[in-house]
């Protein structure tokens, strides 16, 4: 009973904005009754949240790809002071839960630099740093998949290391990296739902708000699941198109 009252108090506070509380809720087992009409009330916010999800994910994969390139080259370096930190970075971000990385970035890292919490900044930063650990390995695997003989041939023709990497190795490696980068972006779109914990107004945030206002679980989360499925399906089709163009 006390737990229910606390939940109602919390939802009543949220309902100040939306105009509905727990007055009509009865304690006990209730039959599941779908009412997808509530989705229409939240449709503009869900659309806005979907746009935020795509924007955060796209910005994070772009920043993660840039940082991941440095991490990948660092791990392949023959110099230990480059390879060790790069390997440590990869193990740290791949070996800890993403939700912890988001919370640490939001409550500790961002306030250290900006003096206050910025949820959207923390979300992009945390997702970018996490993505860089995976894209770094994608770069490393893609570059190392190219026949070493091509590098040796380019060097023997008088090209320096930068020219060899820029004009010989990377153009071939990028084609092989496209599927892995596409999969990483799809994973990032789904993982972006975790930033709802720091109140970033993306898709999952508004789904939780809908649940809190109407005290319904099925409709908000099923709607969110359908939207995520549509996003990942469209991204997978775009990925296949990019693969065919690169072939």
Note whether residue 169 is domain-resident.
Answer: yes
pLDDT at 31: 62
State which residues form the domain around 114.
Answer: 36-246
- Mark the ranges of the chain whose per-residue pLDDT is less than 50: 1-9, 12-29
86-132 pLDDT, tens digit each: 999 999 999 999 999 999 999 999 999 999 999 999 999 999 999 99
Note whether residue 72 is domain-resident.
Answer: yes
Give the chain's domain count.
Answer: 1
CATH number at residue 193: 1.10.3720.10
Beta-strand runs (E) in the chain: none
**Residue 80 φ/ψ, nearest 5 degrees:** -65, -30
Closest CA to 63 of 135, 11, 2: 135
Q: From residue 7, how far is each of 12, 13, 128 by CA, in Å?
A: 8, 10, 34
Note whether residue 19 is domain-resident.
Answer: no
For 142, the enclosing helix (H) or strand (E) is helix 119-144
Cα–Cα distance for residue pair 103/88, rounded to 1 Å: 20
Note whether residue 21 is domain-resident.
Answer: no
Work out the angle at residue 125's Cα, subtended by the Cα atoms of residues 123 and 126, and round it to the nearest 5 degrees.
Answer: 65
Closest CA to 12 of 26, 28, 27, 23: 23
Note whether residue 195 is domain-resident.
Answer: yes
Note whether residue 10 is domain-resident.
Answer: no
pLDDT at 30: 53
Note whether residue 29 is domain-resident.
Answer: no
DSSP annotation of 118 reads -
Decide: 52 and 231 in contact? Cβ < 8 Å: no
Decide: 134 and 68 in contact? Cβ < 8 Å: yes
95-104 pLDDT, tens digit each: 999 999 999 9
Q: What pTM value is reported for the model? A: 0.84
Closest CA to 232 of 204, 190, 178: 190
Note whether residue 130 is domain-resident.
Answer: yes
């Amino acid at each position: 009973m006390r737990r229910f009252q606390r939940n109602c108090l919390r939802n009543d506070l949220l309902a100040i904005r939306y105009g509905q509380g727990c007055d009509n809720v009865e304690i006990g087992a209730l039959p599941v009754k779908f009412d997808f009409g509530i989705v229409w009330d939240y449709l503009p916010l869900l659309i806005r949240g979907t746009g935020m999800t795509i924007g955060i994910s796209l910005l994070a994969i772009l920043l993660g790809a840039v940082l991941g390139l440095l991490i990948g080259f660092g791990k392949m370096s023959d110099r230990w002071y480059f390879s060790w930190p790069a390997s440590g970075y990869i193990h740290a971000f791949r070996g800890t839960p993403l939700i912890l990385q988001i919370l640490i970035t939001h409550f500790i890292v961002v306030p250290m630099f900006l003096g206050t919490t910025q949820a959207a900044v923390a979300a992009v930063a945390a997702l970018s740093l996490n993505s860089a650990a995976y894209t770094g390995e994608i770069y490393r695997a893609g570059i190392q998949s190219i026949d070493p003989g091509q590098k040796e041939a380019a060097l023997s023709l008088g090209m320096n290391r930068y020219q060899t990497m820029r004009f010989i190795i990377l153009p071939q490696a990028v084609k092989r990296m496209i599927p892995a980068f596409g999969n990483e972006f799809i994973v990032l779109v789904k993982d972006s739902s975790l930033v709802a914990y720091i109140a970033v107004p993306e898709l999952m945030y508004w789904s939780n708000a809908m649940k809190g206002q109407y005290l319904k679980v099925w409709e908000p989360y099923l709607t969110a699941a359908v939207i995520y499925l549509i996003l990942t399906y469209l991204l997978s089709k775009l990925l296949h198109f990019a693969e065919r163009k690169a072939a």
